[in-house]
Amino acid sequence: MKITDLWTRLAQFVLAVNVLFFVGTSMVILFSPHTFQSIVQFVPFNRHYLGDAGIFQLAVSLGLLWALPDPSRRVAHIWIGTIASLMHTTNHVYDLLFVSTPPLFALWLPQTLTLLVLALSLLIVAIGCSRQARVLKRTEAGLVQTT
């Protein structure tokens, strides 16, 4: 498998979309928690809990941002973001299926589907970049000729 500019650009695009979404969400959580609360409608309101969630989400986003320039060399950052995103999505799916009532289900479904698409896109990038990283290591070790 040869590293291509197309794959790198696609990985960077997916990372950028995830970073923008998660940083944007973090900013709303941190600087306007009541607005975020009104969107997601998790009760009761807890500013401290929302602040913690916003900070952790921002930290994961910064890891993905760090991976953006060279995703095949910063795979660990992508995997951390992927695992966090998959766990976050799983939590939303659980709430959607077992906690929500019909009005909340209708509200939470689009949010959960958005998180699922983002998490799966990160998973694809993490797998692809892991493969690319192995190719890079073999190439740098002189085990594979590039033509």
Report the chain's terminal Cα–Cα distance, integer Å. Answer: 12
Q: pLDDT (tens digit, 0 to 9) for every residue of the chain, 147 residues total?
A: 456 789 999 999 999 999 999 999 999 999 999 999 998 888 889 999 999 999 999 999 999 999 999 999 999 999 999 999 999 999 999 999 998 888 889 989 999 999 999 999 999 999 999 999 998 888 888 765 554
Residue 145 lies in a domain: no
Residue 114 lies in a domain: yes
Residue 146 lies in a domain: no
Count of domains forming the chain: 1
Residue 147 lies in a domain: no
Distance, in Å, from the CA atom of 91 to the CA atom of 94, rounded to the nearest integer, reads: 5
Residue 76 lies in a domain: yes
Residue 82 lies in a domain: yes
> pTM for the complete prediction?
0.88
Domain that holds residue 43: 5-139
Distance, in Å, from the CA atom of 100 to the CA atom of 111, rounded to the nearest integer, reads: 13
30-54 pLDDT, tens digit each: 999 999 999 888 888 999 999 999 9
Residue 120 lies in a domain: yes
Distance, in Å, from the CA atom of 105 to the CA atom of 111, rounded to the nearest integer, reads: 10
Residue 144 lies in a domain: no
| Residue whose tokens read 């970049």 | 129
